[in-house]
């Protein structure tokens, strides 16, 4: 039998090759400027990304985890929130949890919806209390959580003061009822890790908001807490900057984000058409951007072997809940006993390749393998 061609989870060389001429030109222009940090290129991309997302301010930082930490620190205040709770899902890779502990806050984990694996709005509302310092809503796998509904319920409950932080690291360009992820909460964070829907060729992140007070606080905190050069006015600042080369690359790719997201959605739709009985792909809503093609499978190990034999890479996003990580077991946390759906899902999740630089032959190869599994 002829060995099938390999279908990788991703192949970033293809992305570079598609936009090589434009990227090379912008990198050369940036290097020739002699200004490689905090320059005009970064300011231009920040302005363009803020406009794309529908907010007034975008502050570029070193990575998505820094973005979460700085956004959380800015939203809850610097001193009086220590020891209070932050409501979040436990299935999103640990990034919000890290940001929480780094700010001396306590993660309060809540459960998710089975069909989307996104946070359950009812679970958010059930967990809110006078101890709640903030809510982190993760738009996981490219799906979009209804942040407006959460905000409306908080207002009804007399809890409108609680800030809502959107973690959009997997949701660049995602929308819900026409509104863009990143514009729905009080403050939002993005990662530009290379495999994201909008990815750099290195690392980078951003904090977005339309609250001028929060924007100014993040601007200070991401550079040592300075109010002006060498003058510190806020404690617990840090050095977290995106370099100009990454901003140049992202500014080249940004105009193509919506069309590339459409390609992702079209690929996932083809996968869904080949499945439905034994394999259930997650549904992140009409405005989802298919950051990952994640399915639920009752016999994941056998399925992964089956796909590997057919030359198709798979992965698991994510194999361990935050609250079950061995290295974090002694850290403060709440809500660990109310995660029935999260725990039932964790052993069934599996991702298959889905990115806009896949060839049609590769898509057909994945569809065929999925169909063969369904027919068994």
CA 7 to chain centre: 24
Q: Give residue 81's pLDDT.
A: 80
Please say which residue of 230, 254, 278 terminates a domain: 254
| C-alpha to C-alpha distance for 38 and 274, rounded to whole angstroms | 48
DSSP class of 328: G
pLDDT tier for residue 4 given thresholds of 50, 70 and 90? confident
Question: Sorting pLDDT into bands at 50, 70 and 90, what band is 141?
Answer: very high
Better-predicted residue by pLDDT, 376 or 2: 376
How many percent of the chain have pLDDT more than 70? 98
**Global pTM value:** 0.97
Please tell me which residue, 234 or 80, carries the higher pLDDT value: 234
Integer Cα distance of 60 and 240 in angstroms: 8
Q: What is the CATH number of the domain that holds 313?
A: 3.90.1150.10
pLDDT above 70 for 203: yes
Is the domain of 131 the same as that of 272? no
> Quick one: 168 and 270 in the same domain?
no
Question: Which of the four pLDDT bands, split at 50, 70 and 90, describes residue 2?
Answer: low
Helix (H) or strand (E) holding 33: helix 20-33
Same domain, 299 and 309: yes
Q: What is the mean pLDDT of residues 3-17?
A: 94
Asked if residue 170 and residue 317 are part of one domain, the reply reads: no
Q: Which residue has the tokens 């792909």?
A: 281
Query: pLDDT band at 342, cuts 50/70/90?
Result: very high
**Same domain for 283 and 177:** no
- The CATH number assigned to the domain holding 45 equals 3.40.640.10
48/247 Cα distance (integer angstroms): 11
DSSP 315: B
By residue range, what is the domain housing residue 303?
256-375
Q: 254, 285, 303 — which closes off a domain?
A: 254
The larger pLDDT score, comparing residue 1 to residue 354, is at: 354
Indicate if the pLDDT at residue 78 is higher than 70.
no
* Pair (260, 227) in one structural domain: no
Q: Are residues 100 and 31 in the same domain?
A: yes
Q: Which of 254, 285, 314 is the last residue of a domain?
A: 254
Q: What is the mean pLDDT of the chain?
A: 97
Our count of domains for the chain comes to 2
User: What's the rounded Cα separation, in Å, for the pair 348 and 292?
Assistant: 15
Section 267-279 average pLDDT: 97
Task: Assign 279 a pLDDT band (cuts: 50, 70, 90).
Answer: very high
Q: In angstroms, rounded to a whole number, what is the distance separating the alpha carbons of residues 228 and 260?
A: 40
187: β partners:
165
Residue 69: both structure tokens together: 């930490």
The predicted-structure confidence for 310-340, as pLDDT tens digits, reads as follows 999 999 999 999 999 999 999 999 999 999 9
134: exposed, middle or buried (C-beta count within 10 Å: 0-12, 13-18, 19+)?
buried
Strand partners of residue 189? 167, 207
pLDDT above 80 for 79: no
Query: Could you tell me if residue 2 is inside a domain?
Result: no
Above 60 in pLDDT, residue 68?
A: yes
Mapped onto helix, strand or coil, the DSSP state of residue 245 is helix
Residues 135 and 165 in one domain: yes
Residues 245 and 190 in one domain: yes
The verdict on 64 and 117 lying in the same domain is yes
Same domain, 190 and 286: no
Determine whether 80 is exposed, middle or buried from the number of CB atoms within 10 Å of its CB (0-12, 13-18, 19+). Answer: exposed
Mean pLDDT of the region 240-250: 98
CB of 112 within 8 A of CB of 318? no
């Amino acid at each position: 039998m002829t060995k099938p061609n390999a279908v990788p989870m991703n192949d970033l060389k293809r992305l570079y090759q598609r936009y090589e001429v434009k990227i090379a030109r912008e990198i050369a222009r940036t290097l020739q400027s002699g200004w490689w940090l905090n320059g005009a290129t970064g300011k231009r991309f920040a302005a363009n990304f803020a406009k794309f997302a529908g907010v007034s301010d975008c502050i570029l930082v070193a990575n998505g985890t820094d973005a979460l930490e700085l956004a959380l620190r800015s939203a809850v205040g610097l001193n009086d929130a220590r020891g209070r709770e932050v409501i979040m899902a436990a299935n999103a890779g640990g990034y919000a949890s890290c940001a929480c502990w780094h700010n001396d806050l306590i993660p309060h984990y809540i459960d998710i919806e089975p069909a989307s694996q996104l946070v359950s709005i009812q679970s958010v509302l059930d967990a809110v209390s006078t101890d709640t310092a903030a809510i982190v809503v993760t738009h996981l796998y490219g799906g979009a959580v209804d942040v407006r509904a959460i905000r409306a319920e908080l207002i009804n409950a007399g809890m409108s003061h609680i800030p809502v932080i959107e973690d959009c690291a997997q949701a660049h360009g995602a929308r819900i009822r026409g509104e863009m992820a990143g514009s729905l909460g009080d403050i939002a964070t993005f990662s530009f890790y290379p495999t994201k829907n909008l990815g750099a060729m290195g690392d980078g992140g951003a904090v977005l908001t339309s609250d001028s007070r929060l924007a100014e606080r993040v601007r200070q905190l991401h550079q040592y807490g300075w109010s002006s050069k060498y003058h510190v006015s806020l404690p617990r600042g840090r050095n977290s900057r995106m370099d100009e080369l990454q901003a140049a690359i992202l500014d080249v790719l940004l105009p193509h984000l919506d069309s590339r997201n459409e390609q992702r959605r079209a690929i996932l739709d083809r996968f869904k058409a080949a499945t439905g009985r034994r394999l259930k792909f997650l549904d992140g809503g009409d405005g989802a951007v298919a950051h990952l093609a994640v399915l639920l499978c009752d016999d994941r190990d056998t399925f992964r072997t089956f796909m590997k034999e057919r030359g198709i890479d798979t992965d698991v996003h994510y194999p361990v809940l935050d609250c079950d990580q061995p290295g974090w077991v002694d850290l403060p946390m709440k809500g660990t006993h109310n995660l029935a759906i999260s725990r039932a899902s964790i052993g069934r999740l599996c991702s298959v390749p889905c990115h806009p630089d896949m060839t049609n032959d590769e898509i057909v190869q994945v569809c065929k393998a999925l169909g063969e599994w369904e027919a068994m």
